[in-house]
Structure 1
Amino acid sequence: MRSLRDLTLRPRRWPGALALVLALPLAGCAGDSERPDPAPPASAPSRAGATAGAAPDVRARLRVDGVAREYLLHRPADGAGGGPRPLVIAFHGRGADAAELREKSRLERAAGARGMLVAYPEGLDEGWGAGTRATERRPDPDLDVRFTEALIEHLVRAERADPERVYATGFSNGGSMALRVAAQRPGLLAGAASVSGQLPAGAAGIEATGPVPVMVVYGADDPVRPLAGWPSPPPDPEEPILPSLSARDSAEAFATAGGAGAPVTEERKGYDRTVWRLGAAPRSAHGAAATVQLLVVHDAGHTWPGSDVTPPKGFGPTSRALDATDTILGFFTDEP
């Protein structure tokens, strides 16, 4: 099962009150040392799976609100050359981690070809606060929002990420986290995309607050978090499963916030695409297309379409009719 959680509202102005203390390259994740471990040589695979000839991935630690948070960073092979680079923040699913999403999505391959940085943050207790309700595990439902803001700020400063081309994506609970950031911080992102993640509803509900391009990719036969949403999920002994809107209602919330007109739906081979054209201009003139899109993938479960990784038992099939990674990055960069 997966769940969701939280955020707050503010235009894109870096939160100076955040306790942002350090970001250190790590080869591993043990301890809270302020001394970086030796970086692997560029010619050998790193622990994160970098290959010969490519810029090695880096594990780093960032202290926010007194908590050391970790993330996996992939730099494009062009190194420090060129100007500011687009940045993709990729949130893993509940019960998973950054390395699992990296392997499943292979975002860094397609993003690197586009000169994009990719940061895979690690959630606390292998999950994200994608809704506004406090829980025993997540007593501060806004913690992950502040972490996301701080991570973006740090990568703009330290990695020359372009603040006008910051995007968020994620899978399942991580997809819901990406939608939460887009909903409550529309000025922070130039676009967002969710795979198998919906907006939370009920007491933990999230409302879209401004125009931002959003894509929702969803399996028509998702057995974990149904396409039609989950208004009354069953209890979970580890962490409450939050109610959610349907995939369509999640997309429509962003369309409404962006002043979109009536949607247009077209059938593609293996999936249906519904597009709303935003009436209000998103913040970036060179970000994603000014649309909200819902892609319902046929014969697909709670999976990342196009992935080569076998999903857990009970998650349903993975569609090969759509490459979610290329589709999402093409949406972010407004490729035809």
Structure 2
Amino acid sequence: MKATTFSFLGACLLSVSSAAVGATVQQLQVQADGRTWTYHLHVPSKATPSGAPLVVVFHGAGGNGRDYLTKNGWATLSEQEGFVVVAPDGLAAIPRLPTNFRLNPRLWNSGQLNANSPRGKINDIAFVNALLDDVALRTSIDTKRVYATGHSNGAGMTFKVGAELSERFAGLATVMGLNSSEGARPTKALPTLMLLGTRDPLNPIEGGERELPWGKGTVPPVAQGIQAWKQSLGCTAAAAKDRDDEQATVERFSECRDGATFTVWYFQGQGHAWPGGQESGLPESVMGPNTTRIQATPLIWQFFSGLPR
């Protein structure tokens, strides 16, 4: 009985803590590429005055930045660990119309969009540059410890900034997404963590047809994008297996340019959801199972915080 009561109180305290931290998230705006963009910023109370690490979180298609801070634990972990976190909002597929999850979702121009579509003509890299500059004006950032992570379409955007803005970042982590920056030759090879679900119906490991909430399409095998990013980083060593159990298989590529490594986690039986995050509201028939006991947010921060300065 005591253990049950303690677990219940602990869950309540965690909920209150998350709500309290969520209330400190600021919604801000910045101008880039002739447009007004919004982003959500959390500066922890114990941020280092001389410059705190910064994590940039790119949401998935149809999502928004604030939810990724509050529902996937980024704001709470930021407060605990003392790093600054920012989660921008992508622009709508038809930018001149209001956003709507089903009819006009927020997207990133990550290289996955039709280049001739209205959204495909917008320069998201210009926005990321403006975002980093604006955050640095508002709070003290350690520019040598700026990291990017993203989910799904946001994972593709993470690969894109790693390919085109490598000089402004120190590490990358992608969650349930594909590398759409094949052939990239980044100025600097960035340490990269890639998290995948073995039962993800939206980015199936073997590739093939998928059905998004906005229609059907096909994707290449995940291995194709992994091989392409390995080449972009200049990794020459064969994959070393760091873990292989009922929860996850972990492979690591080393001997990459600039001392980088490329580590790929395969979450056994996991679908498309952010591991350890709150449910998206979409059914399992769309997202696949959400069964993993491993939490992606602290795993990613552990990876970032362990990288050399």
Name 1:221's counterpart in structure 2: 199
Name 2:95's counterpart in structure 1: none
Q: For residues 63 and 304 of structure 1, do their structure 2 counterparts lie closer, same or farther at Cα, with a shift above 3 Å needed?
A: same
3-state SS, counterpart of residue 238 of structure 2 = coil
User: How many angstroms apart in 2 are the aligned matches of 1:309 and 1:294?
Assistant: 24
User: How many angstroms apart in 2 are the aligned matches of 1:98 and 1:303?
Assistant: 16
Mapping for residues 113-132 of structure 1, pairs under 5 Å: 113-125=80-92, 126-131=106-111
**Residues 263-291 of structure 1 deviation map (CA, whole Å, 9 limit, x = unaligned):** 11231440100101243215xxxxxxx31
1 or 2 for the larger relative contact order (CA 8 Å, sep ≥6)?
1
Name 2:247's counterpart in structure 1: 270
**Residues 212-248 of structure 1 deviation map (CA, whole Å, 9 limit, x = unaligned):** 1111101100011212334x767x896896x654333
Question: Residue 179 of structure 1 aligns to which amino acid in structure 2?
Answer: F
- Contact 1:182-1:208 within 8 A present in 2 as well: no
User: How many angstroms apart in 2 are the aligned matches of 1:87 and 1:239?
Assistant: 35
Name 1:184's counterpart in structure 2: 164
Q: Is residue 263 of structure 2 the alignment partner of residue 293 of structure 1?
A: yes
**Residues 34-93 of structure 1 deviation map (CA, whole Å, 9 limit, x = unaligned):** xxxxxxxxxxxxxxx7517x88110001011221100010111225x5311111111111
Q: How high is the sequence identity, in percent, across the aligned residues? A: 26
Mapping for residues 1-336 of structure 1, pairs under 5 Å: 50-51=19-20, 56-78=24-46, 81-125=48-92, 126-131=106-111, 133-141=114-122, 143-200=123-180, 207-209=184-186, 210-230=188-208, 244-260=219-235, 261-265=237-241, 266-281=243-258, 290-309=260-279, 311-313=281-283, 314-334=286-306
User: How many angstroms apart in 2 are the aligned matches of 1:128 and 1:334?
Assistant: 28
3-state SS, counterpart of residue 51 of structure 1 = helix
Q: For residues 237 and 114 of structure 1, do their structure 2 counterparts lie closer, same or farther at Cα, with a shift above 3 Å needed?
A: closer
User: How many angstroms apart in 2 are the aligned matches of 1:218 and 1:255?
Assistant: 16
- Contact 1:269-1:321 within 8 A present in 2 as well: no
User: How many angstroms apart in 1 are the aligned matches of 2:88 and 2:128?
Assistant: 8
Structure 1 unaligned regions, length at least 5: 1-48, 283-289
Structure 2 unaligned regions, length at least 5: 1-17, 93-105
Q: For residues 320 and 206 of structure 1, do their structure 2 counterparts lie closer, same or farther at Cα, with a shift above 3 Å needed?
A: same
3-state SS, counterpart of residue 36 of structure 2 = strand
3-state SS, counterpart of residue 119 of structure 2 = coil
User: Could you say which structure has the higher helix fraction?
Assistant: 2
Question: Residue 329 of structure 1 aligns to which amino acid in structure 2?
Answer: W
User: Could you say which structure has the higher strand fraction?
Assistant: 2
Q: What's the offset of the Cα at 1:208?
A: 4.6
Name 1:15's counterpart in structure 2: none
User: How many angstroms apart in 1 are the aligned matches of 2:142 and 2:215?
Assistant: 36
Q: For residues 227 and 311 of structure 1, do their structure 2 counterparts lie closer, same or farther at Cα, with a shift above 3 Å needed?
A: farther
Question: Residue 307 of structure 1 aligns to which amino acid in structure 2?
Answer: G
User: How many angstroms apart in 1 are the aligned matches of 2:220 and 2:131?
Assistant: 28
Question: Residue 225 of structure 2 aligns to which amino acid in structure 1?
Answer: S
- Contact 1:211-1:254 within 8 A present in 2 as well: no
